Amino acid sequence: MEADTKAKRHVVCRADEIQPGASKRVQVAGRDIAIFNVNGEYSAIGDRCPHEGASLCAGAIVGLAEADEPGEARMTRHGEFVRCPWHGWEFDLKTGKSWCDPRRTRVKKFDLAVEDATKIVEGPYKIDVFDIRQEGSYLVIDI
């Protein structure tokens, strides 16, 4: 007998319960899921940081700091990342990818050279991302 692998539809809340720039934690099929409203588009991710399990729903919604040269930082991708409230790890709300590598984060003296860089380096960690859509006034997740 084959196992039923079809995703089940879950209505999780009304869309107007999550204002732009805000988040809401819901529980679906025994999983804690954080839903974020990013400028009217919704992202749903697993609510636990892979580092030590903090609730990402309680984290700050931030943008990405980029620079072409020292002292010339600019913020891009406003509201598209969540920062873990415990240790500051950041995750892309669309892909779930981290943009840090905590194994390299330590206090140590390094030789420094300034070189051109075209993009940031993805970290090795990733959180679960769920498909979420708005149906009328409600948000729906398939798991």
Residue 58 in this model has a pLDDT that exceeds 90: yes
Report whether pLDDT(27) > 70: yes
Mean pLDDT of the chain: 77
Q: What are the two backbone dihedrals, phi and then psi, of residue 90, each rounded to the nearest 5 degrees?
A: -115, 140
**Which is nearest to 64 in space by CA: 104, 42, 93, 103?**
93
d(CA 43, CA 129): 8
- Does this model's pTM top 0.75? no
Mean pLDDT of 37-57: 86
Place of tokens 């869309």: 15
Q: Match 């529980």 to its residue by tokens.
A: 27
Which residue type, as a one-letter code, is found at position 22? A
3-state secondary structure the chain: CCCCCCCCEEEEEEHHHCCCCCEEEEEECCEEEEEEEECCEEEEEECECCCCCCEHHHCEEEEEEEECCCCCEEEEEEEEEEECCCCCCEEECCCCEECCCHHHCCCCCCCCCCCCCCCCCCCCCECCEECEEEECCEEEEEC
Show the domains of the chain with their CATH numbers: 9-142 (2.102.10.10)
The pLDDT of residue 86: 93
42: confidence class by pLDDT, cuts 50, 70, 90: confident
Is residue 109 predicted with pLDDT exceeding 50?
Answer: no
